[in-house]
Amino acid sequence: MKGDGRRGGPVIAIDGPAAAGKGTLARRLAAALDLPHLDTGLLYRAVGRRVLDAGGDPADPAAAVREAEALTPADLARLNLRAAEVDRAASLVAAIPAVRARLLAFQRCFADPRGAVLDGRDIGTVVFPDADLKLFVTASDEERARRRWRELEGRGVAASFETVLADLRARDARDASRDVAPLRPADDAIVLDTTDLDPDAAFARALDIVREKFARA
């Protein structure tokens, strides 16, 4: 059994800042490897959404923990988890240690027994420190903001590029500077910079890394 209590199939941890392309990459890798995929950001988004819906303050630990404890699978399937106010609420609840502790068991159980691909901020550092493979997917601030801005445009949401860039930097700073499970690459993570890679090229590169890693194992 591994140090994190695991007995089953391979776990691939994909961490990185917002809009670096890790979600798309994780989904495609999971499909290619026939593993379940969990976007762990959705857990924090769903908790943030619940706090907002209840009229609470996402920075208030009591309110956030109450909603984390009440979380149901249906909350993760809601359609409005990518709204701008949820971006902010998610990063506020994610800085509360008791919220993170509450969501830890769910994430670990998810990978049992088949293994899984999980993407987030602390998968390789906290959730699965013994993951079989850790990727840290990143890209320049400007490129990530461009991607997020195009995605918003595609959904018909009006926003200036400058505002998107500023929001993204504020969220990254909050995610990286919090005391508990801050965003950082694990010491044994392989860094994949997607600034100059389109999604297909990023996927091809990640698949090469996976094949090399598992061929050696």
Contact set with ligand DC (CB under 6 A): 18, 40-41, 44-45, 90-91, 94, 120-123, 171, 175
CB closer to ligand DC out of 43 and 206:
43
Least CB distance to ligand DC at residue 171 (A): 5
Least CB distance to ligand DC at residue 48 (A): 8
Least CB distance to ligand DC at residue 118 (A): 8
**Bridge partners for 117 per DSSP:** 12, 37
CB closer to ligand DC out of 67 and 175:
175
Least CB distance to ligand DC at residue 71 (A): 14
Dist CA 119 CA 131 (whole Å): 12
CB closer to ligand DC out of 122 and 197:
122
Least CB distance to ligand DC at residue 81 (A): 8
Which of 92, 94, 67, 63 lies closest to 78, judged by CA? 67
The rounded radius of gyration (Å) of the Cα atoms in the chain is 17
CB closer to ligand DC out of 149 and 217:
149
Least CB distance to ligand DC at residue 216 (A): 27
Instruction: For residue 75, give the 3-state DSSP assignment.
Output: helix
Tell me the DSSP string of 114-146. T-EEEEESSIIIII-TT-SEEEEEE--HHHHHH
The 37-39 sheet, strands edge to edge? 37-39, 116-120, 11-15, 133-138, 190-193
**Helix-strand-coil split of the chain, %, nearest 5:** 55, 10, 35
Backbone angles phi, psi at 23, to 5 degrees: -65, -50
8-state DSSP, 183: S
CB closer to ligand DC out of 101 and 212:
101
Hunting for tokens 């699978």 — which residue is that? 73
CB closer to ligand DC out of 91 and 138:
91
